[in-house]
Amino acid sequence: MQRNLFAALAGGLFGAGLLISGMTDTLKVQGWLDVFGQWDPTLAFVMGGAILPMIAAWQLAARMGLSRLGSPLPLRPDHRLERNLVVGSALFGIGWALAGLCPGPALASVSFGGWGSLLFLSAMLAGMVLAPALRRRINRQQHNRGTSLMEIRHLTDRYAVSPQIGPEDVAALKAAGFVRVICNRPDGEIPGALHAAQMRKHVEAAGLEFVDNQIVPGNFTAEIIATQARALDATGPVFAYCASGNRSSVVWAMSQAGKVPAETLITTAARWGYNLEPYRDRLG
């Protein structure tokens, strides 16, 4: 309830800001993009005004660990530049310029913008429904060309995790300096091409070590934790993967219990959005 109330407040403040700044006026937005015509600088002031409080907010967030309502804060920016990001932004820019509306102002002005606003919003929602199929297609193209889309999430400078990887990611792991790869995902969850035995072949072919330590969700036994702890003891950085990277984070934290304070373990994982709070009693 509290969460929804604060969400509505943030949404309302956002809407008021868009209205007051003039961003619901499509001519202002088009005027800002019209560098070769009569340029209107307003949007630059809006962006600047909005970015300032957010710079402070990110600084504050870095010291908080969890949000006021107890959610993990998304602290580490993602630096992957996939084709979807560039293609999508280019398409968005065209639509933004043609109508002078982006999603925020489109919603903020829908109540008073007449039929045109409703039509724009409907078309935008239709585009959002169509997008996932297109995104999968672009991802598949990149995947087929062997481009790695993996995001390496460092928990320490010697241990990193990620969601499920594929054969196309092994070269990037080697290039990043990892010497050992731990599989924490049970074969039963994934198609045969990604089973541990297959991944072992790809990883070992690249000259890295492979450790098979599959974890069924919630099943963090003493043996599994001990296997992970032994695997962490390597000559260089170690990389582990499961479905989301969550299990690889939990089992790592449990292997560090007693050596590192529980609070540090929890906030470290929370930086990547992994919630270790439910396991607090096993981390102390």
Partner 1 sequence: MVVSMQADWIYGLGGGLLIGLAAASYLLVNGRIMGASGIIGGLTDGSGRDTWAERSSFLIGLVGVPALISVSFGATPTHLTTNVVTVVAAGLLVGIGTRLANGCTSGHGVCGISRLSLRGIVATAVFILSGGLTILLFRHVLGVI
Nearest approach, Cβ of residue 196 and partner 1 (Å): 28
Nearer to partner 1, 33 or 257 (CB): 33
What's the distance, CA 160 to chain centroid?
15
Could you say which of 108, 194, 250, 262 contacts partner 1 (CB under 8 A)? Answer: 108
Q: How many residues does the chain have?
A: 284
Neighbours of 41 (CB within 10 A): 10
Q: Is 130 in the site for partner 1 (CB under 8 A)?
A: yes
> Pattern of binders to partner 1 over 28-57, x per CB under 8 A?
x-x--xxxxx--xxxxxxxxxxxxxxxxxx
Contact between 205 and 190 (Cβ < 8 Å): no
Q: Is 276 in the site for partner 1 (CB under 8 A)?
A: no
Give backbone dihedrals phi and psi of 153, rounded to 5 degrees, phi first.
Answer: -110, 105
Q: Is 15 in the site for partner 1 (CB under 8 A)?
A: yes
Nearer to partner 1, 12 or 258 (CB): 12
Residues sharing a CB contact under 8 Å with residue 271, sequence separation 6 or more, in sequence order: 72, 73, 75, 76
Element holding 180 (H helix, E strand): strand 180-183
Q: Rounded distance, CA 144 to CA 140, Å?
A: 6
Nearest approach, Cβ of residue 259 and partner 1 (Å): 28
Contact between 244 and 163 (Cβ < 8 Å): yes
Residues 53-92 that bind partner 1 (CB under 8 A): 53-58, 60-61, 64, 66-74, 77-81, 84-92
Could you say which of 121, 179, 243, 260 contacts partner 1 (CB under 8 A)? Answer: 121
Q: How many binding residues for partner 1 (CB under 8 A)?
A: 117
Nearer to partner 1, 254 or 266 (CB): 266
